[in-house]
Structure 1
């Protein structure tokens, strides 16, 4: 038997600024978190949606559709290559991840220097997988040739982050959501939407392992495995945690370095043994932290404890708690209460 140990924040938090986010996290959860994200503020409010607009700023790429789909200043339309343009000839404009990370790290560094954030706490940067961005916002006929170009651009963003932020203060999280749409055959996972020749399990795990392996050993790296949260709903409800466990095991085995943590979602209505039973098959090293996303704003402490009780029967290793996904799009005014739920569950178990 085991019990929850520690809190992980997936990344997206429904506050306006990095300063506000980090101060509130430090005040409410400082003794429970090892890493603090900036909340994915600004144009990143809807995870990767802003990438389409960033890509469309490059000559040779255009938005599809005549009418912009603007939400909070971000155009959600997909993009395509201009007629006659080859992806390998593109000089992509900055994707925005390094720029945001460096700006937010300056805030983090100042707060840590002033004693607001505890020494030893790391600054967490969440990045999408190339598969996630390309599969979501590049039209299907262009995906195969565009994916390596986007992957190289994202690698440059990562390199800039690694160059600017001290290794012992940095943690990188790779967010894998579209991967499970492909594996479950739902949403973007429909066969007509794929562009690779490999089996979906090979295609998704090989790609994520490659991203993990880009992060040096002296920088923490983790993965957030996700079934989506558009309108706080999954694109498909997982039958149980078996595919999550299989995916985590494959990725951990294929990466050339050890994962620092793995985060797995738990649907709000699953407090039954059947959902958690596959967790007994996790083959992660003991040093790899495990976090279960069993905190939901709708049923608070009681619901989280009920799901935690069901989870502990399947686990013989330390584990921590989280929400099932980021909560940057949760209703306004719910963030402090969610932090309190994390704290109460982590403190009282």
Structure 2
């Protein structure tokens, strides 16, 4: 069987600024990458945690609990509607995603003009699903009412990105993590159940399909399926790829536009063919790129090659490689070796 084609960077990368991230990724992986993210630097370091502070600053919203729950100068306390306030009357502040994307795209464009980034490479913007933020940081009793308000606010961030960045330079990735906490019947750090709707499979997949369809056809769109990454640990280890495949098939069937790429995780312990068996039933179009998150910093190219060999027993189509999640919170000094592992096990596009 042929070697995996191409590599994908999920999103967060452990450099301090966007220029270092993009310049270094292009230097080490330029011919392996179709798109480059900015590394989710700054307040996005802990993925969506900064959204709690953004929402908490809104008139009509209050924080739950008297004491902050600190995480790298952020406050993880959930939010709720103040007494007598209706979600429809809220005026949410800018969520920060468009500002970050436009600032980083200016750097991306300059690096392209300097030939530091290959000409055909797109700028990748990673966004959370509205479900992820609402389910993580909105008090359970207010989620159903608050969800459409947050979804409209995030759609406005996306629309601004679409207006300001040329479509042939842009790729949007939707990060679906809380969806799998729901599907695996986990509860939140507050002890509350996550879902606020009855059919968890239909509810999660149809919501993600709606976000995919917000992206115009001339902009690439991908999905990162995630089992969480707190201290480089999943909230629960996937037993195999069965739920990932079932969810991906539902999303692709519900979306009106084609998906450009799909990424799914492979735990470091899983170099057995059984983990990948369900991928034989993955019903995505042949033109949709598939990336398996089988690169791990702990065992490098040797471990990745074992997992590639196991995957090839059940995945007949070409696939590329990635880490199982972003690695913005990995130990310092691990990024270049991770880039080198990607390069060692994947051919150029």
Bin the TM-score by the shorter chain.
over 0.9
Q: The residue matched to 1:150 in structure 2 has which SS?
A: helix
CA distance change for structure 1 residues 195 and 315 in 2, over 3 Å: closer, same or farther? Answer: closer
> Cα offset for 1:120?
0.9
Q: Deviations over 1:260-281 (max 9, x none)?
A: 0000100000011110011111
Alignment partners' CA distance in 1, 2:87 and 2:193: 19
> Cα offset for 1:323?
0.2
> Cα offset for 1:249?
0.8
> Cα offset for 1:213?
0.4
Cross-structure match for 1:68: 68
Alignment partners' CA distance in 2, 1:344 and 1:143: 45
Cross-structure match for 1:198: 198
Q: The residue matched to 2:6 in structure 1 has which SS?
A: strand
> Cα offset for 1:141?
1.0
> Cα offset for 1:115?
0.5
Alignment partners' CA distance in 1, 2:189 and 2:288: 29
Runs of 4+ in structure 1 off by over 6 angstroms are: none
Q: Deviations over 1:154-185 (max 9, x none)?
A: 00000000000000000000000000010111
1:276 and 1:314 in contact (8 A); partners too: yes
1:3 and 1:312 in contact (8 A); partners too: no
1:16 and 1:42 in contact (8 A); partners too: yes
- Give the superposed CA RMSD: 1.5
> Cα offset for 1:57?
1.5
Cross-structure match for 1:310: 310
Alignment partners' CA distance in 2, 1:332 and 1:76: 24
Cross-structure match for 1:240: 240
Alignment partners' CA distance in 1, 2:38 and 2:65: 33
Equivalent residues in 2 for 1:1-349 (5 A)? 1-188=1-188, 193-347=193-347
1:290 and 1:319 in contact (8 A); partners too: yes
Q: The residue matched to 2:19 in structure 1 has which SS?
A: helix
Q: TM-score, normalised by structure 2?
A: 0.97
Q: Deviations over 1:60-81 (max 9, x none)?
A: 1122222223333222211111
Instruction: Return 5+ residue gaps in structure 2 as ranges.
Output: none
> Cα offset for 1:3?
3.0
Q: The residue matched to 1:264 in structure 2 has which SS?
A: strand
> Cα offset for 1:188?
3.4
Q: Deviations over 1:265-312 (max 9, x none)?
A: 000000111100111111111100000000011111111110001001
Q: The residue matched to 2:346 in structure 1 has which SS?
A: helix
CA distance change for structure 1 residues 307 and 202 in 2, over 3 Å: closer, same or farther? Answer: same
1:144 and 1:195 in contact (8 A); partners too: no
1:2 and 1:312 in contact (8 A); partners too: no
Q: Deviations over 1:133-155 (max 9, x none)?
A: 00101111111100110000000
Instruction: Return 5+ residue gaps in structure 1 as ranges.
Output: none
Alignment partners' CA distance in 2, 1:200 and 1:304: 33
2:13 and 2:328 in contact (8 A); partners too: yes
1:78 and 1:139 in contact (8 A); partners too: yes
